[in-house]
Amino acid sequence: MPVKVSKICCIGAGYVGGPTCAVIALKCPHITVTIVDLNQSRVDAWNSPDFALPIYEPGLVDVVRQARGRNLFFSTDVDKGIEEADLIFVSVNTPTKKSGVGAGFAADLNYVELATRRIATVANSSKIVVEKSTVPCRTAESMRTILEANSKPNCRFDILSNPEFLAEGTAITDLFKPDRVLIGSLETREGVEACQSLAEVYANWVPQDRILTVGLWSSELSKLAANAMLAQRISSINALSAICEATGANIDEVAHAIGYDSRIGPKFLKASVGFGGSCFQKDILNLVYLSESLHLPEVAAYWRQVVEMNEYQKRRFSKRVVDTLFNTITGKRIAVLGFAFKADTGDTRESAAITLIKDFQSERAFVNIYDPQVEEEQIWNDLSEASPLIPIESIKKQVTICHSAIEACKNAEAVVIATEWKEFLEIDWEEVYKGMNKPAFVFDGRLLVDAEKLTKIGFKVTTIGRPSAVAA
């Protein structure tokens, strides 16, 4: 018989575990949900009286406000959370390895292994353990081996894969109305029953036909495959944007035309300065490493090209800024609007802005940065990590963090739009123009602003995927 889940523990209070389990708590008031994390400051933020949560996600505060203290709890007591739970989500970080075998490609599963060993050490009763982190195919096998080798008598562990398919910025909407919930299990009686137990949790608000149950390995691979396919679309449209700039075609018009094909569809066909975030690049590199490990070099090369095209797009855009500004930006001031990898999130992982700013620094330009959500400390950490050989004091001599878009643009030669925040549409561009050095340039890396309108004000506008500034 499937276990009736009454208590859930989530190990990891990050971008996946926090929002996912907060929504589970909201939709399942009969289930106690405890999210545990060893990071005291992060847990304190989740518990803060003024709901100054450690993650910015539209709608998340409302969810936490309704469920916290009722059946949603945040704690650093990992052992208690494990011991009391029927079902445990493992939602820890799986960054790309920086050293050792597979460095630069393979996922670092150290936190997954540590969490798995902790579960085995602490658990005094049988548990359903659910992979929520994005992991390489067949990670569940190693988790099961660790659990079985270290389990106490009469304790059994059933492993499930339940990857998340959230888009930062719309995560709460995605959780409320998911395209699908994917649950992978072993094809044993116990595995199928564990799968049913988790499916019953989601069935409290997700229609039955959107809860997909598959084999364990298929579930793990599906997550990597989904992100790889989405990133591939972005790199494809970005490759076409380069052709548009060279031929006089308009990437907006091209994307609109091909998006009408029902076999293709319109989503993820917006050209940009490049994709970022915690998933796309990491998951594709993971897929590359998996392919090479399976002796499939042609497959590995195919997926590697998606990432290489993304890096090319960033370099191409920063070079276009330099070329347009009379082949030098030395001593010039560049305003970079947006530092998060996309709008409606504070996440900066693999943000295109980091690469652009590093390139501008190398050209000895001065850079003003403004982002409405990213903390100053995060910006300095990212820039320092991007240029590890340059002391932070030297970086701060070239880079200034501003508190408004108007402030960032003052006395600048050029404005670079790196993130598609809606507030950048509402900027008083006439005021911006007055405060800038002339000629004043705008480089739209997100197809965000009305180039014709800005040109009439006096700006020289360069838009990604278009051949040149719009004529007045």
Type of residue found at 330: T
The amino acid that residue 410 corresponds to is K
9 marked as binding residue: no
Q: How confident is the model at residue 469 (pLDDT cuts 50, 70, 90)?
A: low
pLDDT exceeds 50 at position 471: no
State the pLDDT confidence band at 107, using cuts at 50, 70 and 90.
confident
**pLDDT reading at 472 higher than 80:** no
Instruction: Tell me if 272 is assigned to a ligand binding site.
Output: yes
Q: Give the chain's mean pLDDT.
A: 95
* pLDDT band at residue 357 using 50, 70 and 90 as cut-offs: very high
pLDDT of residue 209: 97
Measured distance CA(182)–CA(320) in Å, rounded: 42
The phi and psi torsions of 157 (rounded to 5 degrees) equal -125, 125
pLDDT band, residue 470 (cuts 50/70/90): very low
**How much is the average pLDDT of 388-403?**
97
At 418, which amino acid appears?
A: A
Residue 14 annotated as binding site:
yes
Q: According to the annotation, is 118 in a ligand binding site?
A: no
Instruction: Note the pLDDT tens digit of each residue in 256-276.
Output: 999 999 999 999 999 999 999
pLDDT at residue 137 is higher than 90: no
β-bridge partners, 58: none
Choice between 248 and 278, residue whose per-residue pLDDT is larger: 248
To the question of whether residue 396 is assigned a binding role by annotation, the answer is no
**pLDDT of residue 133 exceeding 90:** no
Is residue 28 part of the annotated active site? The answer reads no
Q: Is 236 annotated as a binding residue?
A: no
Backbone φ, ψ for residue 416 (5° rounding)? -115, 120
Say which of 9, 28, 279, 409 is annotated catalytic: 279
Cα–Cα distance, 152 to 130 (Å, whole number):
19
Mean pLDDT on 38-67: 97
Q: Mean of the pLDDT values across residues 371-392?
A: 97
341 is in an annotated binding site: yes
> Which residues are registered as beta bridge partners of 74?
35
Domains in the chain, ordered, with CATH?
7-206 (3.40.50.720), 307-463 (3.40.50.720)
pLDDT score of 415 more than 90: yes
Tell me, letter by letter, the H, E, C secondary structure of the chain. Answer: CCCCCCEEEEECCCCCHHHHHHHHHHHCCCCEEEEECCCHHHHHHHCCCCCCCCCCCCCHHHHHHHHECCCEEEECCHHHHHHHCCEEEECCCCCECCCCCCCCCCECCHHHHHHHHHHHHHCCCCEEEEECCCCCCCHHHHHHHHHHHHCCCCCCEEEEECCCCCCCCCHHHHHHCCCCEEEEECCCHHHHHHHHHHHHHHCCCCCHHHEEEEEHHHHHHHHHHHHHHHHHHHHHHHHHHHHHHHHCCCHHHHHHHHHCCCCCCCCCCCCCCCCCCCCHHHHHHHHHHHHHHCCCHHHHHHHHHHHHHHHHHHHHHHHHHHHHCCCCCCCCEEEEECCCCCCCCCCCCCCHHHHHHHHHHHCCCEEEEECCCCCHHHHHHHHHHHCCCCCHHHHHHHEEECCCHHHHHCCCCEEEECCCCHHHCCCCHHHHHHHCCCCCEEEECCCCCCHHHHHHHCCEEEECCCCCCCCC
- Residue 21 is labelled as binding a ligand: no
What's the pLDDT score for residue 151?
A: 87
- Give me the mean pLDDT over the 75-103 stretch: 93
On the question of pLDDT at 48 being above 90, the answer is yes
- Does 268 carry a binding-site annotation? no
Residue with tokens 């993650």: 55
* pLDDT for position 1: 81
Residue 399 assigned to a binding site: no
Judged by average pLDDT, the poorest of 18-32, 387-401, 433-447, 456-470 is 456-470
- Torsion, Cα 446 447 448 450, to 10 degrees, reads 150
Structure tokens at 18: 């926090």
Residue 443 to residue 430: CA distance in whole angstroms: 16
